[in-house]
Amino acid sequence: MLVYQAQLGDWDNLNHLLVCKKTNKAAIIDPFFADYWLNVCNSHDYNLEQVWLTHSHWDHSKGVDGLQDREVWVHEDESKRGWDGPSNQVWSNEPFSSIVHKLGELEIEAHCTPGHTPGHMTFIGEGVVVSGDCMFLGRCGRTDLFGGDVDAQRKSLIHLRKRLLNLPSDWLVLPGHQYQLSDGTNPTFITVRQLLSDNEALNALDDDEAWNNLDFLAFDDSLAEKARRERARAQDS
């Protein structure tokens, strides 16, 4: 498998293109700019067959508008936060479970890892873990946006930790955003070994006090205020 990573857009999203070398079939995960990835695929003669969304937040689904003639995959539980497309294929596996998803001759585990959003997906296989906003390199995604759930996030990380412990330690973890680590470095990928050792959220999973004291699960910002309004409207409807 070939993997391309690019940081795109005002939110510095990390997009990932997976390519089956035997068939030249490709899948783009969380496209920000459709034209960027169409140009990459055209220049290398890749068949951009599929679009995979880790979740449906705007900054991870913006590029779908230009790729609707492909298979656009999203978990059906993203509808719980209002997602109604554009997408044309759905995963339906239960939370904290995985199914095998095929790309050419590749087989990738598609894990349902809710918490950041109701139907967040994490993809594992062929030497990489593409974790979206469920799990960053040094921490995890926030849970206070509309559709977020802090308890589900903790269960998702427990689910992922169990799987990571059984992976080769030199596999690479590819997140949805780049954030500085506690040691001052700012990589766009690290090994599974380093993630298991240094990720603050994973290290807090078994201690209620440590988990509840994590300061990145919720923020007092404009996104939080918007989420509060969305929750109020949902309760009134």
Asked if pLDDT for residue 225 goes beyond 80, the answer is no
> How many C-beta atoms lie closer than 10 Å to residue 95's C-beta?
19
Whole-angstrom CA distances from 79 to 110, 112, 115, 154, 229 are: 18, 14, 14, 21, 18
The residue among 230 and 76 whose pLDDT is bigger is 76
d(CA 99, CA 109): 6
Domain boundaries, the chain: 2-236
- The pLDDT value recorded for residue 177 is 98
Asked if pLDDT for residue 233 goes beyond 90, the answer is no
| 145-195 pLDDT tens trace | 999 999 999 999 999 999 999 999 999 999 999 999 999 999 999 999 999
Assign 100 to helix, strand or coil.
strand
CB 16 within 8 A of CB 3: yes
- The pLDDT value recorded for residue 237 is 64
Record the pTM.
Answer: 0.96
What is the β-pairing status of strands 2-8 and 121-125? unpaired
Asked if pLDDT for residue 133 goes beyond 90, the answer is yes
- Name the one residue in this structure whose structure tokens are 């269960």: 155
Residue 86: cis peptide before it, omega within 30 degrees of 0:
yes
Q: Which of 92-96, 214-218, 227-231 has the lowest mean pLDDT?
A: 227-231
Q: Of 3.40.640.10, 3.30.420.40, 3.50.7.10, 3.60.15.10, which CATH number belongs to 2-236?
A: 3.60.15.10
Classify residue 133 as exposed, middle or buried by CB count within 10 Å of its CB (0-12, 13-18, 19+): buried
- Name the one residue in this structure whose structure tokens are 């001052």: 184
Q: CB within 8 A of 52, min separation 6: which ones?
A: 27, 28, 29, 30, 73, 101, 110, 121, 123
